[in-house]
Amino acid sequence: MMSEIKLVFLEEIPEEIKDNTLYVSMEYATAIHNCMCGCGNKVITPLSPKDWNLLYDGETISLSPSIGNWNFNCESHYWIKKNKIVRAIDWPEKNIDNSDQENWWEQFFLRFTNRFSSFFN
């Protein structure tokens, strides 16, 4: 998985989406990029309080929550944090379907805090 992403602010999404680049249209409240696994699928992230949040500090960008491409063959899952691509934990199929919601949150929290504790310090 790629480790860093280039940031481009623009009004409209271009026809050609380059790898390793995050395009952000504030006018349309949308970000788009090619999947970070390299499969070439386009990933569209609508920006709103109920979808993805964008944090721009004047130099770097972060998106939250994580980007889980469950509908792609690659099923890649990652975060964009300060222009860095951070691979996330793999989620079992049952968790993607939300069939075991209570147990999933407990497992996710434990795995996430163990794996990324140094990232947030």
Q: CA torsion sign, 85 to 89 to 90 to 95?
A: negative
For 60-94, write each residue's pLDDT tens digit: 999 999 998 888 988 889 999 999 999 886 655 54
Supply the mean pLDDT for the chain: 81
Rounded Cα distance, 74 and 98, in Å = 19
Phi, psi of 54 (to 5 degrees): -110, 135
Rounded Cα distance, 49 and 1, in Å = 28
Q: Is the pTM of this model over 0.75?
A: no
Q: What percent of the chain is predicted at pLDDT more than 90?
A: 52
How many Cβ atoms sit within 10 Å of the Cβ of residue 72? 15
Longest pairwise C-alpha distance within the chain? 42
> Which residue in the block uniquely carries the two structure tokens 């947030």?
120
DSSP 76-96: -EEEEETTEEEEPPP--HHHH
For 28-38, write each residue's pLDDT tens digit: 999 999 999 99
